[in-house]
Amino acid sequence: MQDNVVVITGASGGIGAALAELLSGRGASLALVARREQALRAVAGHCGAQAHAIVADVTRRDQVRRVVDESLARFGRIDVWVNNAGQGISRPPSQLTDDDVDEMVRINVKSVLYGMQEVLPHFASRGTGHVINVSSMLGRIPFAVNRSAYIGAKHFMNALTASFRAEVQQAHPGIQFSLVSPGVVSTDFGLNALHGGPDSRQLPDSQSAEEVAMVIAEVIRSRRPDVYTRPGAHDRVVQYYDSVGADP
Give the residue numbers marked as catalytic: 150
CA 102 and chain centroid, separation: 19
Q: What is the 3-state secondary structure (H, E, C) of 121-138?
A: HHHHHHCCEEEEEECCHH
Contact yes or no for 51/24 (Cβ under 8 A): yes
| Strand ranges in the chain using DSSP code E only, listed in sequence order | 5-9, 29-34, 51-55, 80-83, 129-134, 175-181, 226-228
Cα separation, 147 vs 162, in Å, equals: 23
Which residue(s) pair with 8 in the sheet?
Answer: 32, 82
Does residue 9 sit in helix, strand or coil?
A: strand
Cα separation, 129 vs 125, in Å, equals: 10
Q: In what order do the strands lie in the sheet with 129-134?
A: 51-55, 29-34, 5-9, 80-83, 129-134, 175-181, 226-228
**Residue 180 backbone class (left: φ over 0; alpha: ψ -120 to 50; beta: rest):** beta
Cα separation, 240 vs 230, in Å, equals: 16
